[in-house]
Structure 1
């Protein structure tokens, strides 16, 4: 993983995990994997994707993540500590290999996709989704535009583009490669509901904010309060978009 702080499961849930839990069921439905299959959730985090898999029907799910704190939160799956780019799992062991919001945090995404393919059984689905940082994550777009435009996550994570995902899956030798956008509403119940998760120091933006002095944090907070579109009731209605990709390992 990169140098971003990934230590507190509760802080992650408040910041972006709650929105991942809305994307995950749509992603699982798109894959259409029959019930009773064996799944790998690579970079399982706090278990949003694993939970969606299990909610879709009977399944055997193994979750792999390097963060012990996140693994303690992922209660719905068999948990294994490990790196997505060096999976501690045998070849051809899974009917579906998936990853949610993790691929861009692996220093070498191509190596991770190769590992996903290695542990997939012949004919298995290999799929992932990542946030569309360039234009689809309004909560982060507003933050970086105010805090540090030169640290834009869209530029930082080139794998988080439709064409890059399609190319990575094709280069891994996967067949039937498809992509799609998944968009969800992200409605915050007032400014504090938006701002407080940025104080949790978990994830790129909160980690950046934690390294600033109190005066700069106050400047960013006040500028965001003025900038964000609030309704008459105080709600802040934004949207979040993810890019999803899927392919199939050659059978036989």
Structure 2
């Protein structure tokens, strides 16, 4: 079995692979959350290239919005792409550099399942918000609702059965409604709600679908990078044959995320 390679370092490469879709989900997530009660401090834990930070800064009325991420490369990309209304810090999303009760809200997009101790991270986020403060996040539905990744791994396993061990659908059982709800409740949060968020992922053609998998950013591109040239061609052609191509050459799929939110008890 190949070693997992979850590389998250190059912001521009990530943008083409996942960022363009994560921005769509971030917008829908902030609509789902609503404008919030305003006036406080909001933090985006595991901000990546800043998609959710930007959406929160644009929609909310928070006095300060800060994104934190362990990847200096991602933080650099976010600083160059997100309006000055938001700030960015290189820090661990699971150990926020703030005192308990300092924040109005902690949000996180597409990062929770990559943290070494997700439960400890959510508990830390709950401590970081004031009584009544919000803790909310979203993750991809890797098991079935993340269309282009589901197509990728199904093709990869058909060509190379050992790839099943790397499939995010199996690796991240957390990314389902039940486990997410339990994680929030175990952190002491109340009024916990879980909901699906679905966006369209339309690719201009097969190169637009395939080439982002050559970026090396994340589990699936990391797997592609581990293949020799012949195996890579076999995977590419298996994918090409399996995809639903429209008459104009485009490929229309959908991506579903699961969103969860809860509040720190008032007393």
Do Structure 1 and Structure 2 share a fold, with TM-score over 0.5? yes
Instruction: Give the secondary-structure state (helix, strand or coil) at the position aligned to 1:145.
Output: helix
- Where does 1:212-223 land on structure 2 (aligned, <5 Å)? 212-223=227-238
Q: Which residue is 2:87 aligned to?
A: 78
How far did residue 50 of structure 1 move? 0.5
- Counterpart selection for 2:115 from 82, 98, 106: 106
Higher mean C-alpha displacement, 85-94 vs 199-208: 85-94
Number of positions where the alignment pairs a residue of Structure 1 with one of Structure 2: 251
Whether the 8 Å contact between 1:99 and 1:129 is mirrored in structure 2 is yes
1:130 aligns with 2:145: no
Instruction: Give the secondary-structure state (helix, strand or coil) at the position aligned to 1:201.
Output: coil
Give 4+ residue runs of structure 1 displaced > 2 Å after superposition.
34-37
TM-score, normalised relative to structure 2: 0.91
How far did residue 203 of structure 1 move? 0.6
Q: Deviations over 1:88-129 (max 9, x none)?
A: 221111111100000000011101101111111111110000
Whether the 8 Å contact between 1:9 and 1:73 is mirrored in structure 2 is yes
Q: Which residue is 2:32 aligned to?
A: 30
How far did residue 3 of structure 1 move? 4.9
Distance in 1 between the 2:147 and 2:28 partners?
A: 20
Distance in 2 between the 1:139 and 1:133 partners?
A: 10
How far did residue 193 of structure 1 move? 0.5
Gaps of 5+ in 1: none
Instruction: Give the secondary-structure state (helix, strand or coil) at the position aligned to 1:184.
Output: strand
RMSD: 1.2
Higher mean C-alpha displacement, 57-66 vs 178-187: 57-66
1:251 aligns with 2:266: yes
Distance in 2 between the 1:215 and 1:128 partners?
A: 39
1:178 aligns with 2:180: no
1:20 aligns with 2:22: yes
Gaps of 5+ in 2: 158-162
Whether the 8 Å contact between 2:5 and 2:222 is mirrored in structure 1 is no
How far did residue 141 of structure 1 move? 0.6
Whether the 8 Å contact between 1:162 and 1:179 is mirrored in structure 2 is yes
Q: Which residue is 2:59 aligned to?
A: 56
